[in-house]
Structure 1
């Protein structure tokens, strides 16, 4: 059904593109007196307010040029040459004329002019201590492109074929427009920036010194998009669809409309994924009677996602700005489980069994948030009020069968319903002084409650309820934060302090009503070694608190009767992170490199959980560990441009991890990321990526190594508005093979799972509409977060 829907959408989409093609015709310019052709005449298209909508086109030696019309905002064609009078042609007159060639006569204005010079603006890269700015205002090379094409020119930033932005491989970026959050563009830049036309962009800025209030959200850098004269108007959007060889498909629609001081955005997304696999078991049962068992099972994993986003931005005056957004998300997933276990029950006999199961999960999530920004005329003062409310629901049904070596069968089902509510607010006030000193402070409030309802049905009890859990748990965090930023010609220093009071309430254990007082300092120092190189040092203390899994009851999907709570005593973990590095650039951005050393120390690792004992009908504490972890890793990365068409980016991380309470958990690990993009003429582009990760250590074990490869071919069409992309993932291996060996006194089993790896996907997208800028600068609210 979904495949048919996607094919129909593609056909409609193709028809939509066909109808939206430009009407092209030839303009021939001649001298009104001599009737001779006129070369080097500039031709642009404008709207009713004389805003330029297209890059200039120049006539050839025979006085001809090709021009296209495809937008309802197009009002007139303007022809200019310094020794002739300006000529304006109404678009309606051209549309009414069905001729493919239009002859335009120009009247001379300077008869004695012998020569003239044409100049243009080129993009420039401006490098400062804690920010890099790429200016594209007036650069005709970007008139037809989008924001993603502009962002690619910043150092250490790569974009995937589907528009996903990647900063230093795994760093988190916060996207702002004209210095403030901008609805869906800030919340979901990967799906929206490809629709934002570059002709209204003045510059893009990568800011590495992040305020404390954003660092608490995990933000590593800010990407600010500044538009020409601080304003734009019009309507743009994109429609996109994709299919792959595993019968997966996806559709996305986004639209942005801004008129006067009001902006509306909407984004809708649907996608489905399938990950089939095959599991082969070869078992030798040793007792009570020796026997061999071989099985082959086909496992399915299907995932359906639906999401919708709406946002509203209002600029009341140059002093006030309001941003409100809302999101809705739905996920449906089915997973087949196949596992083998050996365990010791309450009796003295070993019981070995195989498990076959299926898990159905359904998630709903709704979120509403916003921010009100107020600026004052004097002292660079700013007041910000933000809020967020989120409600989510999780439903899980697990049904399974245990097959014992004695040939007895046990069926069991588990239902898990979980409701979460989250409320957060923030009030901040900042001041910017003339000596480049910035002070900001604020208060924040965070409250989250979990309520779980778990029911286990056991075949032994004739489908009676074996256990029910219905508890309400809460986390309440109040904090006061402040930071001071000092900017100088040679250095930038940011010192932040966050004081938090956290309260935890676990209804399952009344004695765990706990309040914890925490001080979290932050030091971020950057020094300009040269004009094109910067050294930096950063220290930050962070806290990992009990999350939803820790407080609410969790279920092992491969064993529905295995119920547990992680970190039931609500202990929190403190992390100390140190970073020391240096960045080096070139003016033309042909070469950039960074190196970084990171050290993370966690003095109080906590690993304790309680499990449910079906015999005692109560929870018991199975394990509790207190130790420390130390991790070092060295990161080296950079980008290189060759022959103006090849862009190579490479990062490599080499690290060491140790856990003080376990001699086995000490190991080296490595991670490598490679990206190469080759851009050809006529809007062709090839991109290849590779990511290799060795075993990643944790204080409870290891995560398996991963290898991912992809190569894609991209072609833009329809005046750079449409694109078609063909991508092949994991083209080296057709499938992954995972092996598992189990050996007990009664059972020897070799389990091999075959998971398809190779995947080919096709994506088609089209960007519609247009944005124009104001001919004069408009005073807008510009957040102090990017001012210096």
Structure 2
């Protein structure tokens, strides 16, 4: 019994003591506000309360989005310790809690210069980041990109070229898919070349180059995908940036990118306004010799493309809880282009004697409106890496091209008057569901479904005045083209890591249902086909500083809307560029092997690749006996491309950064057209080298050189293109603002030069779409200095958590 009484007594004692400890002690609040040396609130600093008697931690909290902190404390003597990554540690002694709340007022923290120095070097986001199936280029570090547009930025990307007409090519092929934030966008839908010029570069965060996409991506794009990632952040409080640009020839614009995050809501908004003029000049010579007729004419061209564009986007992230997020965005773009061209034709006889001079003048207006609404939902689960996402988007776009032409000659001063109308309307709906299930320690299975419906309507007509000044429709240039595209897809993909080896394999199935119709002539063409597209990726970590990658993918390139449209621009009355409604898709087998070497002062990414293409689409030029030239795309041939590519970054000193990239390739195309064999076998390359020097810690100077070697085509050859860009930037206002001055195409040498030779026909042409450009840009950062931006790039995800 005694043995029982002692444990029972102890149990009662422990219970009484626990009960006594649960009695609430009287507490009071300790509060204050944190500011840095510039009187800005210090957000999310760590505020800890220690006992003055034995230095034990008794409480603490992080400051909120206004720099304010408040927490309860029992009566006693304490001291505060305040810590923040880029500020000196602060000790507040003699904090006495007696019988009332304690208000410490405003506490000022000093900058930690030593930490900031490290951040300038180590915290700066790398200009290039390598991931398993893509390369990410943070474009803001390239001074020649500041104040430019999306087309200019793409032209500075490794292995990407943009010709003088704005057509984008990757590794020498224009069959590349362009996405905005990883999704199809009406911003680059109908006329990508023109649309990319209307997107301010100040709103772009990065460019992702995906040369061998995995099965989670659309199979569209023979050489891969270029993904333009727009700026967006979810830092707490109000922050953002403002940019203003001025340049010559006329290039003026401004933009802002704002973000406000508080508790469960994140609001984003950005806007860009841009006006620019692009003067261009060109000349060509056409010669035709046959048994029946001969002619020679030379052409001189002067064009000016000018226009204003407005890009506006608002969005909302609502964090229901730690596992569920809803995002809604609406974007609106309104642009108005006004283009002028002046063409002079000089006709010669077979003795090279000038017989007549013809002039053709054009005035064109081109308003365009694009509206996109997106609703996205993301669910995360307790298991790390498990997620379910749903994305939807609705796009409405319309564009109207209205042109007037006056053509006259020295033999007919009155000449003829013509006008053309081209109205394009687009409606697109996208829905996509993706699920990720982790398996084991490093593995996961991904699966998804996607459907897209795209409806385009194009109404085109050309009119000419008769002798009575009445407008008469030219029947051969009058029709209405309808394009209905429905694509349904599903994919499954698995990946896992086995020691130093990482494997990823997937299979994507796509059903394409495409109908084209010329409504006025009742010409209808329907295509329906289902294809499977496998992809395999493997990486092997040889050492900590070396990684080898291997990949394979099977892809297709569907003819785009412009390639199918049987009528096009009527600016040049002697050269007509027309689409082909009977085009079939191209299919490509793509293989690639890469090696990444990380060095103490840089990195080297080298890769070799091979592509085998079926049903290659090429533009064919043919001329009739009157000298009228037609350029149209056809499924001409099979093609093989071999290439070697490298990207080098090297820092000889902390203040000097060198980058270089080159793509050296061989392309072989062979096919038949009109019972003739057309073949090309060419070796060519593209390259870009840049040097960036930092002086006095706040001044940057950059120079870059771009070169594209000549290459053969199935009907001739394209000559070399080279240009030099320079940039200079200076941080001002204690790092909150930056002024940048740059010149694009310093030597005014970026010109497309080509030669076409075919059965008695010879053509030589040279054209410069845009002259040398001078730019000055001012950028101001709201509530985020350059040092803080760099810190966010390094560890911002911790702040979000």
The residue aligned with 1:330 is 334
CA shift, 1:246, in A, is 1.3
With the length of structure 2 as denominator, give the TM-score of the two structures: 0.68
Aligned counterparts of 1:691 and 1:531: Cα–Cα separation in 2: 33
1:268 lines up with 2:271 in the alignment: yes
Tell me if the contact between 1:365 and 1:390 (Cα under 8 Å) persists in the aligned partners.
Answer: yes
Deviates more, 1:729-738 or 1:264-273: 729-738
Aligned counterparts of 1:748 and 1:598: Cα–Cα separation in 2: 34
Aligned counterparts of 1:292 and 1:483: Cα–Cα separation in 2: 59
337 and 712 in structure 1: CA distance in 2 versus 1, 3 angstrom threshold: same
Q: Write out aligned runs for 1:424-439 (5 A).
A: 424-439=430-445
Aligned counterparts of 1:293 and 1:610: Cα–Cα separation in 2: 17
CA shift, 1:176, in A, is 9.2
Tell me if the contact between 1:368 and 1:388 (Cα under 8 Å) persists in the aligned partners.
Answer: yes
With the length of structure 1 as denominator, give the TM-score of the two structures: 0.69
Aligned counterparts of 2:232 and 2:483: Cα–Cα separation in 1: 44
Tell me if the contact between 2:719 and 2:753 (Cα under 8 Å) persists in the aligned partners.
Answer: no
Work out which of the residue numbers 535, 542, 567 in structure 1 matches 2:555: 542
Q: Deviations 1:66-125 (Å, cap 9, x if unpaired)? A: xxxxx9946699889999764899997799xxxxxx9x9xxxxxxxxxxxxxxx999xxx
Work out which of the residue numbers 488, 492, 509 in structure 2 matches 1:482: 492
CA shift, 1:759, in A, is 2.5
642 and 279 in structure 1: CA distance in 2 versus 1, 3 angstrom threshold: closer
In structure 1, the residue corresponding to 2:202 is in which secondary structure?
helix
Deviates more, 1:750-759 or 1:325-334: 750-759
The residue aligned with 1:150 is 125
CA shift, 1:471, in A, is 3.7
The residue aligned with 1:646 is 656
CA shift, 1:538, in A, is 1.1
In structure 2, the residue corresponding to 1:571 is in which secondary structure?
coil
739 and 660 in structure 1: CA distance in 2 versus 1, 3 angstrom threshold: closer
In structure 2, the residue corresponding to 1:559 is in which secondary structure?
coil
The residue aligned with 1:134 is none
Aligned counterparts of 2:301 and 2:335: Cα–Cα separation in 1: 26
Q: Write out aligned runs for 1:145-544 (5 A).
A: 149-152=124-127, 157=137, 159-161=141-143, 162=145, 168=158, 170=160, 191=202, 212-214=215-217, 216=219, 232-277=235-280, 299-333=303-337, 334-338=339-343, 340=345, 355-378=360-383, 380-403=385-408, 407=412, 409-460=415-466, 462-467=470-475, 468-508=478-518, 511-544=524-557
1:758 lines up with 2:772 in the alignment: yes
Aligned counterparts of 1:222 and 1:584: Cα–Cα separation in 2: 26
The residue aligned with 1:31 is none
609 and 736 in structure 1: CA distance in 2 versus 1, 3 angstrom threshold: closer
Aligned counterparts of 1:541 and 1:242: Cα–Cα separation in 2: 43
Aligned counterparts of 2:752 and 2:619: Cα–Cα separation in 1: 33
1:668 lines up with 2:683 in the alignment: yes
Aligned counterparts of 1:175 and 1:359: Cα–Cα separation in 2: 28
In structure 1, the residue corresponding to 2:568 is in which secondary structure?
strand
Tell me if the contact between 2:483 and 2:561 (Cα under 8 Å) persists in the aligned partners.
Answer: no
Tell me if the contact between 2:268 and 2:314 (Cα under 8 Å) persists in the aligned partners.
Answer: yes
Deviates more, 1:410-419 or 1:373-382: 373-382
Q: Deviations 1:281-300 (Å, cap 9, x if unpaired)? A: 999999xxxx9999987542
The residue aligned with 1:51 is 45
Tell me if the contact between 1:639 and 1:649 (Cα under 8 Å) persists in the aligned partners.
Answer: yes
In structure 2, the residue corresponding to 1:555 is in which secondary structure?
coil
CA shift, 1:669, in A, is 1.2
Q: Deviations 1:285-328 (Å, cap 9, x if unpaired)? A: 99xxxx99999875422132221111211111111111222211
The residue aligned with 1:729 is 744
Tell me if the contact between 2:395 and 2:427 (Cα under 8 Å) persists in the aligned partners.
Answer: yes
The two structures, once aligned, show a CA RMSD in angstroms of 5.3
Aligned counterparts of 1:279 and 1:622: Cα–Cα separation in 2: 21
Work out which of the residue numbers 98, 103, 116 in structure 2 matches 1:140: 116
510 and 696 in structure 1: CA distance in 2 versus 1, 3 angstrom threshold: same
CA shift, 1:715, in A, is 0.5
Tell me if the contact between 1:414 and 1:456 (Cα under 8 Å) persists in the aligned partners.
Answer: yes
In structure 2, the residue corresponding to 1:554 is in which secondary structure?
coil
Deviates more, 1:82-91 or 1:626-635: 82-91
- Unmatched 5+ stretches in structure 2: 1-35, 48-63, 70-79, 96-101, 147-152, 161-169, 171-176, 183-198, 290-294, 349-354, 625-629, 672-676
Aligned counterparts of 1:627 and 1:749: Cα–Cα separation in 2: 23
Aligned counterparts of 2:121 and 2:264: Cα–Cα separation in 1: 25
Aligned counterparts of 1:280 and 1:174: Cα–Cα separation in 2: 34
- Larger RCO (alpha carbons 8 Å, 6+ apart): 1
- Unmatched 5+ stretches in structure 1: 1-41, 54-70, 96-101, 105-119, 123-138, 178-187, 197-204, 344-349, 614-619, 783-788
Work out which of the residue numbers 711, 729, 732 in structure 1 matches 2:726: 711
